[in-house]
Amino acid sequence: MRYLPAEFPLEPGIRYLNHAAVAPWPKRTAEAVQRFAFENMTRGAARYPDWMAVEQNLRERLAWLINAPCSEDIALVKNTSEGLSFVATGIDWHAGDRIIGIADDFPSNRVVWESLADRGVAFDQVDINAEADPEQALIDRITGDTRLMAVSSVHFATGLRMDLARLSAACRETNVLLCVDAIQSLGAVRFDLDTVPADFVIADGHKWMLAPEGLGLFYVNPAIRDELQLTEFGWAMRAQAGDYAPGDWRPSPLPAVSNAAAPTCSGYMRWMPACHCCRRWDSRLSSVCCRTISIICGNGCAPFPACRSSPPKPDPNGPAFSRSALPATIANESTGH
Ligand SMILES: Cc1ncc(COP(=O)(O)O)c(C=O)c1O
């Protein structure tokens, strides 16, 4: 505990013994934000390519944190709710489909699924508090119509930690998609896609990842990426990056620069991994916490491996978005600026 006051110089009288809400920023996070603001004030966007490199670096670190095959499987979103909404609005639901969730889960992880009722999608809410075996209670609700199970890795109010390996095994066996809201654990509890092969992992950075609000991780299983329809559009999502000419366009095949990432690419909070290394902390912190700190420090406690799978390449023969087929707002966006 001795190092904490230096890194968390809270006012006298304020003590964070734990938090399930919004963490205080570590000193280095605050310094990185200040540096980025100062750079914008004094140099504008002169180092824009470096900002893009920082963003890529961040996605590599987040991929490493959850053991994703590739940084291209990670998109940056503005919060957990946005990532959950991308899943809820992006899946091609059919009337009669069912979703399983936790009855008293955090509202973000309920309202998105409830919002699908008018499309004929039922949200089966399981009261896990009443169950001796919460995971089994969720698994028992799977039927032939279940398309997705949505759970929080740790319950925001009770602190119940789900056995995600068990849930993911059951979902794989029954061909049900697994969507994990990992905000209450990521950074404090190890998450490994090898042992928990979830289809979606989403977490804002402002809890155990010790970041400010407004920047989160969104992982999509590459095997089902194409099943997720684009529901948000922006200039940076086109495969023809840098080509602002009007006309037909193809979305990038990467979630990192399509769908959710379009707004993030347009440029806020690239400061996150910009501070200096904290390798000296290694001996004092758990390896998971060390990983987390390394994310916000920009220099890892271990080298970051290259992608385990090749990032997808744009398909030149794939379907193009035709201007005439697009709603007016999208057509206007595609004219570039
Ligand atoms: C399980 C869970 N999901 C999501 C959130 C917050 O969502 P967002 O990142 O959209 O603010 C919280 C906040 O307490 C939470 O506990």
The pLDDT of residue 109: 98
The pLDDT of residue 276: 24
**Who has greater pLDDT, 244 or 146?**
146
Pick the residue whose CA is nearest to atom 1 on ligand 1: 106
The pLDDT of residue 19: 66
* pLDDT, tens digit, 9 for 90 and up, residues 195-250: 999 999 999 999 988 888 898 999 999 999 888 988 888 887 888 777 888 888 88
CB under 8 Å to 109, separation ≥6 — which residues? 80, 84, 101, 102, 150, 151, 152, 181
**Who has greater pLDDT, 121 or 292?**
121
Pocket test for ligand 1, best of 156, 186, 215 (most atoms within 8 A of CB): 156
Q: Across the chain, what does the average pLDDT equal?
A: 79
The pLDDT of residue 74: 93
Question: 30-333, what's its fold?
Answer: Aspartate Aminotransferase; domain 2 (3.40.640)
**Who has greater pLDDT, 56 or 172?**
172
The pLDDT of residue 95: 98
Which uninterrupted H or E stretch holds 150? strand 146-152
- Give the whole-angstrom CA distance, residue 327 versus residue 333: 10
Pocket test for ligand 1, best of 82, 84, 204, 213 (most atoms within 8 A of CB): 204
337 pLDDT higher than 70: no
* pLDDT, tens digit, 9 for 90 and up, residues 270-319: 333 322 222 222 223 334 444 444 444 443 334 445 566 555 554 555 44
SS3 75: strand
Share of the chain above pLDDT 70, in %: 74
The pTM (predicted TM-score) of the whole model is: 0.82
For ligand 1, residues with CB inside 6 Å are 21, 79-81, 106, 108-109, 152, 156, 181, 183-184, 204, 216
Distance of CA 128 from the midpoint of ligand 1 (Å): 19
The pLDDT of residue 34: 93
* pLDDT, tens digit, 9 for 90 and up, residues 18-77: 767 887 888 988 998 999 999 999 999 999 999 888 888 889 999 999 999 999 899 999
Which uninterrupted H or E stretch holds 220? strand 216-220
Pick the residue whose CA is nearest to atom 6 on ligand 1: 80
Ligand 1, atom nearest to 84 Cα: 10
261 pLDDT higher than 60: no
- Give the whole-angstrom CA distance, residue 64 versus residue 238: 26
Distances (CA, A) of 284 to 1, 137, 197, 209, 287: 9, 39, 30, 17, 9
Please check whether residue 35 is in contact with residue 14, taking contact to mean a CB–CB distance below 8 angstroms.
no
H helical segments located in the chain: 4-7, 27-43, 48-66, 80-90, 108-114, 134-140, 164-174, 261-265, 287-297, 328-333
Burial 293-319 (b: 16+ CB within 10 A, else e): bbbbbbebbeeeeeeeeeebeeeeeee
Distance of CA 244 from the midpoint of ligand 1 (Å): 36
